[in-house]
Amino acid sequence: IGVVGESGSGKTEFLKAVCGIQEMIPGITKGNILYNYNNSNFNMYVKNKEKYSLNSDHKKIKKDLIGFIPQDPKSFLNPYWTIEQLFSQTYKLSNQTKSFDDFLMYYLKLGGIEDGGKFRNKRPSQLSGGQAQRVMIALVLSKKPNLIIADEISTGLDVSRQKHIIKSFENIRKEIPDLTIIFISHDFGFLSH
């Protein structure tokens, strides 16, 4: 799904509502954000009197179902940890049957990094913008979310890097066909691809 709009049009507010980041949604008078969770509909917000507020179980939905790829991945990746350390946290939280090395290499490759061995001991500050973006994509995928929200992921990347990101998502769609991805952007060209 592509969500396009100019600066100030409400894309970020929409993102916050879908993710359950925003406690109160000003100006909203009706509507639902429903997730299929454990074979039943879960509404992210509930209406109390005339205001909407987050459902008390919203953190479980965010943790289990939603992955978020920010516009500036370097600000979200712990600068003191290596790529290997970042992925080890996800690996510990998941029930994996494969080794950590296989887990790391699989998700780095799925995120668009062909030679993951060269990246495992690097820190986020040692990565280019496009490399950090692909590491972030891989890290989010390693959580196995049902929904990924990609916020302005093409911003600041040159055309060749944008094409690489598009190719990565084409491969992701082939590997995980049931994954829902929402791209938020002001770039019509990027979204049309």
* Run of H or E including 41: strand 40-43
Residues 113-162: tens digit of each pLDDT: 988 889 999 999 999 888 888 899 999 999 999 899 998 887 777 788 88
Predicted structure pTM score: 0.84
**Comparison of pLDDT for 19 and 171, the residue scoring more:** 171
Q: Which amino acid is at 68?
A: F
